[in-house]
Amino acid sequence: MITRQLFLFLVLAGLKLFEPPLLADSSSPLLAAYYDKFLAICGGRVYEWSDFDTPKESLSGVKQVGVGKQNRYALTNQNTLLTWDKDPSNAVILMEDVKSFHAGRSGLFVIRNDDTLLQFHTKSLLGFGESLSKNTLPIAKHVLTASIGDSANYYVTHEGALFVQGLAHRGQYGDGKLTATEEYIQTSDKVIQVASHTGHSLVLKEDGSVWGTGGNIYGPLGNHGYGDKAIRWGLILRDASAIATGSSHSVAIMPDASLWIWGRNEGLDPKQVMENVTAVAAGSNSTIALAQGVLWQWDTGDKPNRIMNCR
């Protein structure tokens, strides 16, 4: 069991048994997925691709990657956030002094170095940086992590409080609410990571338990509300270290570095699929993972395939 206090101590001390579970669309800053689009930091270089195309090398000097509905993103080693559409050589600066970011369908969350959370909406990103300073919305202070979903957005404070705002018709709030709110409201506590996607959300709590709520037609929440939706947070898995979720399946890394998967084409009960995994991200049907210096990719129901060597 890794408590929030121990987790934060390990991060501050630089002692990592695995990459910090702070990313919305991935368990690690090294990977990102959104439906059929992928980014990976492999061997110190950024690679990007769609579906099962060959990854193409793009940027360097980057410590976090992300991908949303339209744009791709990278956080440089100098804490500068970049974005581009199709050509990384045309990447432009969105913001300086960024600690982390979280991309998704409705836009982008940015956590500044002072732990302030800002939100960019998709329409403000279409100009690739033009007047972005006037189109940011301050959301909260003392923020640890966040997630941009397809229908609802979430953030977690350093105290472990989870807040949500957006659509609620699939049970995305996890408190029984089916009506959207304009303001962010707290719906859980003792949380260290949140991952959201197509009308559903997972949270990882400080005791290692994984909980889910929202739409569950294909099983990304396991047995909890399967076939329709869950309107309250329900337990899925215990003793996890990091989580990620795609449009119809979910994954978790355990303390022994084993990777577990459940959802569409995988079954409702989490099952082990790989060993020695340090990072994972989930898209539409595909999953990507880093294990022993190798990048892997596979469709749900299939076996992992080696994509490239990252050493």
Q: Write down the pLDDT at residue 4.
A: 46
- The pLDDT assigned to 106 comes to 80
pLDDT of residue 125: 59
Please say if the pLDDT value at position 8 is more than 50.
Answer: no
Are the beta carbons of 162 and 153 closer than 8 angstroms? no
Q: What is the pLDDT of residues 68-93, one digit of tens each?
A: 988 999 999 999 999 998 899 989 99
Distance of CA 209 to the CA centre of its chain: 17
Say which residue the tokens 């691709």 belong to. Answer: 49
Residue 110 token pair: 């940015």
The answer, yes or no, to whether residue 163 has pLDDT greater than 70, is yes
**The whole model's pTM is what?**
0.90
State how far the Cα of 196 lies from the Cα of 200, in Å rounded to an integer: 6
Token pair of 196 as six digits: 């959201």
pLDDT at 12: 37
Q: How confident is the model at residue 223 (pLDDT cuts 50, 70, 90)?
A: very high
143 has pLDDT over 70 = yes
Q: Return the pLDDT at 18.
A: 39
Confidence of residue 107 (pLDDT cuts 50, 70, 90): confident
What are the structural domains, with CATH classification, of the chain? Answer: 4-309 (2.130.10.30)
pLDDT of residue 30: 96
* pLDDT score of 138: 92
- Are 162 and 172 in contact by the 8 Å Cβ rule? The answer is no
Mean pLDDT across the chain: 90
Q: For residue 276, give the nearest of 292, 288, 261, 289 by alpha carbon.
A: 292
Going by pLDDT thresholds of 50, 70 and 90, the confidence category of residue 14 is very low
pLDDT for residue 70:
83
pLDDT of residue 133: 52
For residue 17, name the pLDDT band (cuts at 50, 70, 90).
Answer: very low
pLDDT score, position 121: 75
Distance CA 275, CA 292 (A): 9
DSSP result, 172-211? TTSBS--S-EEEEEEEE-SEEEEEE-SSEEEEEETTS-EE
- pLDDT at 162 > cutoff 90: yes
pLDDT at 224 over 90: yes
Backbone φ and ψ of 30, nearest 5°: -80, -15
32-46, 70-84, 115-129, 187-201: least confidently modelled range: 115-129
- H/E run at residue 157: strand 152-157
Q: What is the pLDDT of residues 121-141, one digit of tens each?
A: 766 555 544 445 556 889 999
Least confident of 101-110, 224-233, 293-302: 101-110
What confidence tens digit (pLDDT) does each residue in 247-288 have? 999 999 999 999 999 999 999 999 999 999 999 999 999 999
